[in-house]
Chain A
Amino acid sequence: AAGVIQSPRHLIKEKRETATLKCYPIPRHDTVYWYQQGPGQDPQFLISFYEKMQSDKGSIPDRFSAQQFSDYHSELNMSSLELGDSALYFCASSLVLQETQYFGPGTRLLVL
């Protein structure tokens, strides 16, 4: 079965640079979620989108922004990167009103 696709899988950036992470949900899923997992930590919710509109917002820094496009894929844009942004970033998708979220493999971001 098709799963959530994230790209790139690994990303290395310097401090103050910009990064863009992409997420392609499971076909026919209309809701996308972003989570950040720091080293040895549990995943923390950042933001979610339903039908291209932001539906919920968590602990997402102002330096980060995200959007969902007409084909339901989503992008997380991260600017002025800091060392503390080094983490595993997960995207998950679901059908609205179905609470089961299916996670992608994650993008591992390292900020040097």
Chain B
Amino acid sequence: GNSVTQMEGPVTLSEEAFLTINCTYTATGYPSLFWYVQYPGEGLQLLLKATKADDKGSNKGFEATYRKETTSFHLEKGSVQVSDSAVYFCALSDRRDDKIIFGKGTRLHILP
């Protein structure tokens, strides 16, 4: 079945550091890929998405590129801020069914 694997956290970085959160997926079809972010005590917000190979999703300085050859969708940001502290979920959706499958989440702490 479909699955998502992302790097375990927590990840602790200093402000203005470069961020990479690795995500790989397994899917039998051609899924769409997502990154969702959950700030403390809040719900899930869609951060970015990509629907086909080589697509790049971007939002708020975050980027991720759909790599079919490596089945990856790594999240990157060039300069993180304290306000980026949150839990980040990599996820996929297969057109053949409705549900979103989430990775386990990566907790990110940014130190001032």
Q: Is the Cβ of A58 less than 8 Å from the Cβ of B104?
A: no
Number of A-B contacts (CB under 8 A): 54
Question: Measured between C-beta atoms, what is the minimum distance from B49 to chain A in Å?
Answer: 6
Q: Is the Cβ of A106 less than 8 Å from the Cβ of B43?
A: yes
User: Range of interface residues on chain B?
Assistant: 20 to 34
Q: Is the Cβ of A103 less than 8 Å from the Cβ of B45?
A: yes
Q: Is the Cβ of A33 less than 8 Å from the Cβ of B99?
A: yes
Question: Measured between C-beta atoms, what is the minimum distance from A17 to chain B in Å?
Answer: 24
Question: Measured between C-beta atoms, what is the minimum distance from A30 to chain B in Å?
Answer: 12
| Separation of A102 and B45 alpha carbons in the complex (Å) | 7
Q: Is A43 an interface residue (CB 8 A)?
A: yes
Q: Is the Cβ of A56 less than 8 Å from the Cβ of B97?
A: yes
Q: Is the Cβ of A99 less than 8 Å from the Cβ of B32?
A: yes
Contacts of A93-112 to chain B: CB distance below 8 A: 99-106
Q: Is B93 an interface residue (CB 8 A)?
A: yes
Residues of A within 8 A of B (CB): 31, 33, 35, 41-45, 48, 50, 55-56, 58, 90, 92, 99-106
Residues of B within 8 A of A (CB): 32, 34, 36, 42-46, 49, 51, 89, 93, 95, 97-105
